[in-house]
Structure 1
Amino acid sequence: MVSRRSLAALGWLAAVVVATLAGIGAIRLVGDSLTGTPGGVRSQAEVARDLAAAADRSPAPTIAPPASPTESTTPPSDVQRKTFQIAGGTVVARCENGLVSIETWSAAQGFALRDLDEGPDDEAEAKFEGAGGRSEIKLECRAGQPVRKGHDD
C-alpha cells in the first residue's frame, strides 16, 4: 500500500512537471518577443543605412527649454551664440550686453565635466577631464561675439 508521503511526493512532482511544461509552452507561444531581438539582429551597414534614411526624412530636432508665459521665445537681437568643440566636449556660448554665458555643454565620450563657470560675466569657462586627459575652454565676448579667450577668432 502506498503511504501518504509517497502520494504527496508524487503529487508535488506531477505539479512541477505540469508547471514546467506550461511555462515552456507559453514561451514557445509568445516566441522571439521574449527570448530574442525583435526584428532580428541588424548589421552595422543596415543600421547606418536606416539612420541615413531617417535623417533625410526628418529635420534635425531643436531642443529648447519651455518658455514661461511672460518670457519671449525669440532672443533679443543683440544676443549672439556660437558652438565650440574641444577634445573634452562641446560648449554653446552666447554674448548678451557684453557678457558671456555658457548656455549648454556636452562632454565627449570618455570625458566628464569637472568645473563650470557659466557666467554671465566677463569670462566663462568649462573644464573637462577623462581618459584622454584634460580639456578646457575659456570664453569672452569680443565685438558682441563669443570667442575663445586668447585666440584671434
Structure 2
Amino acid sequence: MRRRLPLVVAGWLVTGVLATGAGVAVTSGLSEPLTDGGLRPLSAAEVDEALRLATSPAASAVPGGTAASTPGPGGPAGTDAPTTAPSSPTAASPSASPPVSPSASPSVPPSAAPPAASPSGRSRAIDTPGGSVIARCENGLVTLRSWRPAQGFQTDDAERGPARQVQVEFEAEERDVQVEISCSADGVPVHRLQP
C-alpha cells in the first residue's frame, strides 16, 4: 500500500498537468479566431477611406460594385465584409436596416451588393456624442446610409430619406442627441445637433 500511494499521487499529478495543458491548448486555439480583433470598430480614417473607395470610379470596377477596404485585424465591425454602403438610395433593402442597439450587427450586411458608385453623390461619416452616422448627398437629397449608437445610447428615431433633411435621434438614460443632416451647396452632407 505504501508503494502505491506515491504512484497514485504521481498519476494524478501527471493527469492534472496533461488536462491543464490540453485545456490551455484548446482554449488558445479556439479563442484566437474569436478574439483576433473581430469586433474592432473602424477608426475615422478607415471610414473615410471606405467612403472614398465607395465613391471613386474604381469602385465600380470591382465585381458586384463593392469596394473592399483594407481592414485591420478581423475586418470592420466583426466581419471581413466590405465596409461600403450602397451608393443609391433605392439600393437599401429591409435586410439592410440599421441596428437599434449598440450590440447589434453591422448595418449593411455583406449580402447587400451595392451598384456602381455614382460620380454625383458624396458621402460623409459624422461622429456625434450619441453615435456615428454615414450620410450621402445625391441630387440635392440626403440619405442616411447607416448609423450606430455610441456605447450607452440606442437609436430612438431615424428618418432615412432621401429628403432635403433627415434626422436620427440617439438616446441614453440622461441624454438625447438629435442629429439633423442636410446637403450643403456643394453636395456634401452637413449636420446640426439639436438640443
TM-score, with length taken from structure 2:
0.46
Unaligned runs of 5+ in 1: 1-20, 40-50, 52-58
Indicate whether 1:134 and 2:176 are aligned. yes
Per the alignment, residue 56 of structure 1 pairs with none
Q: Secondary structure at the match of 2:134?
A: strand
Q: Secondary structure at the match of 2:148?
A: strand
TM-score normalized by structure 1? Answer: 0.57
Match of 1:67 in 2: 113
**2:189 pairs with one of 137, 146, 150:** 146
Q: Counterparts of 1:34 and 1:101 in 2: how far apart (Å)?
A: 50
C-alpha root-mean-square deviation of aligned residues, in Å?
3.4
- Counterpart of 2:150 (choices 102, 108, 111) is 108
Alignment identity in percent? 29
Contact 2:159 2:167 in 1 (8 A): yes
SS of 1:91's equivalent? strand
CA distance in 2, matches of 1:139, 1:118: 10
Structure 2: distance between partners of 1:104 and 1:33:
44
* Partners of 1:78 and 1:97 in 2: CA distance: 7
Match of 2:140 in 1: 98
Q: Does residue 1:31 correspond to 2:20, yes or no?
A: yes
Which of the pair is proportionally richer in strand?
1
Q: CA deviation at 1:132?
A: 4.9
C-alpha spacing 1:38/1:149, structure 2 compared with 1 (3 Å) = closer
Rounded to whole Å, the distance in 1 between the matches of 2:175 and 2:136 is 27
Kindly state the Cα deviation for residue 131 of structure 1 after the two structures are TM-superposed.
3.7
Change (3 A) 1:86 1:132: farther
The answer for unaligned runs of 5 or more in structure 2 is 1-10, 30-39, 41-69, 76-81, 85-109
Aligned length: 108
